[in-house]
Structures are given as structure tokens and as C-alpha cells.
Structure 1
Amino acid sequence: MAVITQFVVVREGVEKMTFTSKKEADAYDRMLDIADNLLPFIQASEATIDDTAAEKLAFYMAANKDTLASLLKGAPVKTDPVAKTPKKKVDDV
């Protein structure tokens, strides 16, 4: 019989994702923390964005935080940006 260790990311009592390594689970949890922190920032803008779109945008920005950080530092936009694909649908955040 095999023993499988799983790391589960849980938010507000809801299971978000399961990983086989602690490192991946911690990285996903940090990304969700970043998205949670970005949401009020996005909602405070003058742009008219509904809550669902704001959540998707926050999740996208968090998933691509390294590219976003470079852009905020003034780096040029890459012609073919490679977005990290989240392992879970954005709607499930």
C-alpha cells in the first residue's frame, strides 16, 4: 500500500487546491494572499469594474506578479507575454 502526502490549501473553510509538495502549496497560498490584497486596491480605482471582473483581475495580477513587478519598475512590455496558468479556474478563488 502506498502512502501519499497531500497538502491542501483551504480558504474560509473551502478547499481551493491540493498539492503533493509543501512548496507548491505555500506558493499557491501566497498567490491567493496577494490576490486578496489586490482586490480592494482594484475596487478603489475609478474604473467601473464589477466584483467578478475585479476578482479575476486580482487573481491574474497575482499569478503574474513577477511580470507585473517588472512593468511597474518601467521594464518594456514583452511582445509575447507568457502568463502563468493557474491550476484552478479563476472563478473558484
Structure 2
Amino acid sequence: MAVEVKYVVVRNGEEKMTFATKKEADAYDKMLDLADSLGEWLQQAPLNLDDEQREGLSFFLAEHKDALGQILRGAAPAEAPKKAAKVKMEKSVATSKEGSTSEKQAA
């Protein structure tokens, strides 16, 4: 017989999701907290959203918070990872150039 440990995210007495790791369960719980906060914020918007629409929108925004953050910073979601990779590559090239200069000076 096997023993399995499962982590269950419960909200208002209702089981939302089950996860194999605590890290995944905590991340989902945090995302639900963000969705709740966004839902409260969207209530103040000058839009006529019913509860189901507001809940769906807030959940979508929370689920895609990284892309939303990139958009709010002025970068398209697809552009930001490319820029980050380019910066990392430039730094590694600069570091390797510095290393070779140091090696030349030591010789």
C-alpha cells in the first residue's frame, strides 16, 4: 500500500485544487488572494460587470500577472524575455572580455 501526501487549497470551506507539493499549493493560494484583491478593485471600475464576469476577469489577470506586469511597464509580454536574455548575454560577454584582459595583465 502506498501513502501519498496531497496539499488541498480550501477557500470559504470549499476545496479549490489539490497539489502534490506545498510550493504549488502556496503559489495557487497566493494567486487566489491576488484574484480576490483584483475583484474588489474591479468593483470600483466604471464598468457594468456582473459577479461572474468580474470573478473571471480578476482570476484571468491574477493567473497572468507576469504578462500583465510587463504590459504595465510598457513592454509587450513577448518582448520582455528577449530583452532580459539579451542583457544577460551582454553581461556574460563583458565578463568574459574582462577576464581575458585580466589574464593578459597577469602574464
Rg (Cα) greater in structure: 2
The 3-state SS of whatever aligns with 2:75 is coil
**Greater fraction of residues in helix:** 2
Report the CA distance between 1:46 and its aligned residue.
0.4
Inter-CA distance 11–74: structure 2 relative to 1 (3 Å threshold) = same
**What is the CA RMSD across the aligned residues, in angstroms?**
1.4
Q: Write the mapping of 1:6-85 to structure 2, written as runs, cut at 5 A.
A: 6-76=6-76, 78=78
The 3-state SS of whatever aligns with 1:9 is strand
The 3-state SS of whatever aligns with 2:27 is helix
Structure 2: segments with no counterpart, 5+ residues: 79-107
Report the CA distance between 1:77 and its aligned residue.
5.3
The 3-state SS of whatever aligns with 1:15 is strand
Count of residues paired in the alignment: 79
Moved over 3 A (4+): none
Residues 8-54 of structure 1, C-alpha deviations (whole Å, 9 max, x = no match): 00001111111111111011000000000000111110011111100
Report the CA distance between 1:76 and its aligned residue.
2.4
Inter-CA distance 77–27: structure 2 relative to 1 (3 Å threshold) = closer
User: Normalised by the size of structure 2, how large is the TM-score?
Assistant: 0.70
Structure 1: segments with no counterpart, 5+ residues: 79-93
Alignment pair present for 1:5 and 2:28 = no
Question: Distance in 1 between the 2:44 and 2:52 partners?
Answer: 15
Question: Distance in 2 between the 1:48 and 1:76 partners?
Answer: 28
